[in-house]
Amino acid sequence: MKLRASTKILFGFVGLVAVAFGGNIAYTKISLSSVNLNPVPSGDVCLIAIGKGANVRDITANHMVQIVEASSNFGGGTGPEGGPSSGSVKKRIPVRELIGILNGDVDSVATFVRKMRNDGEDNDPVDEAPMWMRADIEKAFKGDAALKTKLEKDLNMTLDGKPSPTLNRVAFFDGIRIKIPLTLAVPNAKGPTLEAFDVVTFKPKFMSRFYKSMREKFYDKTQLQDYYAAFLAGETDLTEDIDATLKSVFQRSQESEELKKVQRIGTNTNILVSQSMISSAEMQQDTEGKDVTYDLKLRLTPEGKNRLWKFSSEGGTRVILVSKGVAVASATIGTQLNSEELVIKQIADKTLLEDAVALIHPKN
């Protein structure tokens, strides 16, 4: 069959487009063959990407960017302040601690886990509570005399499960803190895992009951011993297998849903561009919209450009600007970014943006 000239031209154009497209893909693969997105230290200002597997979303509410854990039906448009109008927001993700974990900071793990655990109860560890290592508690139960005496005092209970007749006020108000070793399998700037600790507050069951019974009472602290004696006299079930209880606390900590969430979020978050990969920053006022916003123009080093290019070439679409542990802005990537210049538009908070720019250009 003889083809018309117009058909030949069309086929020829399609062929050229296909060759160009294929050539572009090949060029990208060759250019980025030696580029990886291995963990890097963040510095004070960085760009991060959070994958879908983290099960979190970034939202803007009251001119602030927040990262939140969200249910599967999260979304449905935005409300008047830019937040979601439907769905169930579960918890706000602590960005400072997330960045800390990605930097390999061990102390950030305990804080992150605690904030994910927070259920509104008064169970946050306080500095006044004695700190115990799990290993020392286990030594006390195995017969270390000095540790046994100290632990019984701090618990206000003997290790065979009987309350002390004299109230220890610190045990009443604060309980004890326990450092429980954890291994967090999150790739970070210092290695593939973090050997960290969970810090939990603990009180024996009878002490928790006594503490709750006193919440509604008005009393002088000097009266506590009298109230305590009356409580002991009125209770029939005061003994506890404190060894079994503590073993259960250790196991819950190492298998907790909070730890799994921290691990999931950390594993699916990457510091794409660190502060050392940003060579300059410039902010400009944008008055085109109804409200005044600001654009941020970042110039990246070749390493920063290639990491962002690699991310976008693999289908990445969302980056978040973080400054000193605070999410400042988020941006959607609509195409592959093969440029040393990145512009993030419509940032609402001028002060946070000015602080970020100042960190990139510190005064001598």
Residues 224 and 133 in one domain: yes
Contact 336, 313 (CB under 8 A): yes
Contact 199, 177 (CB under 8 A): yes
Residue 198 lies inside a defined structural domain of this protein: yes
Contact 276, 310 (CB under 8 A): no
Average pLDDT, the chain: 86
Residue 161 lies inside a defined structural domain of this protein: yes
Q: What are the φ and ψ backbone dihedral angles of 320, each rounded to 5 degrees? A: -130, 130
Q: What is the pLDDT of residue 287?
A: 77
pLDDT band at 27 (very low <50, low <70, confident <90, very high): low
Q: Which of 256, 287, 315 is the last residue of a domain?
A: 256
Residues 215 and 273 in one domain: no
pLDDT band at 221 (very low <50, low <70, confident <90, very high): confident
Q: Which of 256, 285, 320 is the last residue of a domain?
A: 256
Residues 145 and 249 in one domain: yes
Q: What is the pLDDT of residue 354?
A: 95
Residue 67 lies inside a defined structural domain of this protein: no
pLDDT band at 71 (very low <50, low <70, confident <90, very high): low
Domain limits at 226?
120-256
Cα distances (angstroms) measured from residue 311 to each of 36, 107, 182: 9, 29, 31
Is pTM beyond 0.95? Reply is no
Q: Which of 221, 256, 291 is the last residue of a domain?
A: 256
Mean pLDDT of 60-80: 66
Residues 174 and 234 in one domain: yes
Q: Which of 22-31, 35-44, 117-126, 149-158 has the highest mean pLDDT?
A: 149-158
CA pseudo-torsion sign 81, 86, 87, 90: positive
User: What confidence tens digit (pLDDT) does each residue in 313-322 have?
Assistant: 888 889 999 9
Residue 10 vs residue 18, higher pLDDT: 10
Q: Which two tokens stand for residue 254?
A: 């190492």
DSSP state of 15: H
Q: What is the pLDDT of residue 2?
A: 55
Residues 249 and 358 in one domain: no
Residues 273 and 251 in one domain: no
Residue 94 lies inside a defined structural domain of this protein: no
Contact 227, 214 (CB under 8 A): yes
Residue 287 lies inside a defined structural domain of this protein: yes
Residues 217 and 166 in one domain: yes
User: What confidence tens digit (pLDDT) does each residue in 106-152 have?
Assistant: 999 999 999 998 755 556 778 889 999 999 999 999 999 999 999 99
Residue 236 lies inside a defined structural domain of this protein: yes
Cα distances (angstroms) measured from residue 178 to each of 61, 141, 225, 333: 36, 15, 26, 44
Total number of domains constituting the chain: 2
Residue 109 lies inside a defined structural domain of this protein: no
Q: Which residues contact 15 (CB under 8 A, 6 or more apart)?
A: none
Poorest-confidence range of 84-93, 157-166, 197-206, 256-265? 84-93
Cα distances (angstroms) measured from residue 168 to each of 75, 140, 228: 50, 19, 10
Residues 131 and 233 in one domain: yes
Residues 224 and 321 in one domain: no
Residues 358 and 278 in one domain: yes
Mean pLDDT of 187-208: 96
Residues 237 and 359 in one domain: no
User: What confidence tens digit (pLDDT) does each residue in 164-190 have?
Assistant: 999 999 999 999 999 999 999 999 999
pLDDT at 16 over 50: no
pLDDT band at 17 (very low <50, low <70, confident <90, very high): very low
Residues 143 and 251 in one domain: yes
pLDDT at 311 over 70: yes
pLDDT at 227 over 70: yes
